[in-house]
Structure 1
């Protein structure tokens, strides 16, 4: 893949994240309850570490519209850590936990900046993130079986993580 192709791939995914976040407005920036639909894109990082950059960049730019400039850095760090951990995780269902646990970073940020209760905020952030990630899990489990889609996003069909998703479905069916 050429440098131009990589840059386009990075920009498109970051752009989708940004548009999905900003377009859903208050739902994406809903105070102590985090329900950012664009977080489903984190599953791209599960199969290809290149998407970690795209998702972190998309989160950083989206967070310019959030409650604080601090969130540009703190929220982006949480995304970077969560997507990196997702990539390192072998099981797609288990990888859901990393963004959910990353909600603790956002809860601590809100606790420090606005003195909101940490555990309540962590709980509400985590519940919203869990809902989005479970939805994304089922969505991407289907998407990752679509060879035309995988070809478009330049994911090699011999990706071991994709093989494990396909094998589990073959064993069940």
Structure 2
């Protein structure tokens, strides 16, 4: 298969998975206490650079379909893009790929909940809620996913 086609297919599948996971678990994907199961997919830059646009586009579409405000659609999705890029750069150590999505989303989504949605809770409380959700989904579920995919990684790893 052509390398470009392979890249686009991987990115598209990741984006679609992200959207489906957010929508299926929409009851916990939005709001002041967020637990997005789809955030487990942010470990995928460990395997392939196609995960960078994949999780970004998935987050963008999920935020639009989920009814997020414009600031969340823009800045929440850009936070995911930056986190995916940094995770890819840190892929030499598996556990490090979890750090950018956890930290960036804790800060950005915490501010978005306060400023864009006007949630009256304190900023640190909102960030704490996001942090808890990110720790469970990215570090907890994400690391389980990473280790589960290692045996079949020859099908998804970038050929460098």
1:19 aligned partner: 20
2:114 aligned partner: 111
Aligned counterpart for 2:95 among listed residues 88, 93, 111: 93
1:162 aligned partner: none
8 Å CA contact 2:52–2:84 kept in 1: the answer is yes
2:72 aligned partner: 71
Q: Supply the distance in 1 between the matched residues of 2:94 and 2:7 (Cα, whole angstroms).
A: 24
Give runs of ≥4 in structure 1 deviating > 3 Å. Answer: none
Aligned-pair CA distance for 1:47: 2.6
Q: Supply the distance in 2 between the matched residues of 1:72 and 1:87 (Cα, whole angstroms).
A: 22
Segments of 5+ residues of structure 2 without an aligned counterpart are: none
CA RMSD after TM alignment: 1.8
Segments of 5+ residues of structure 1 without an aligned counterpart are: 160-173
SS in 2 for 1:95: helix
SS in 2 for 1:96: helix
Map Cα deviations across residues 104-156 of structure 1 (whole Å, 9 max, x no partner).
10111111121532111001001110111122112311321x2xx32433x15
Q: Supply the distance in 2 between the matched residues of 1:23 and 1:95 (Cα, whole angstroms).
A: 25
Q: Supply the distance in 1 between the matched residues of 2:84 and 2:110 (Cα, whole angstroms).
A: 18
Q: Supply the distance in 2 between the matched residues of 1:27 and 1:131 (Cα, whole angstroms).
A: 13
Number of aligned residues: 153
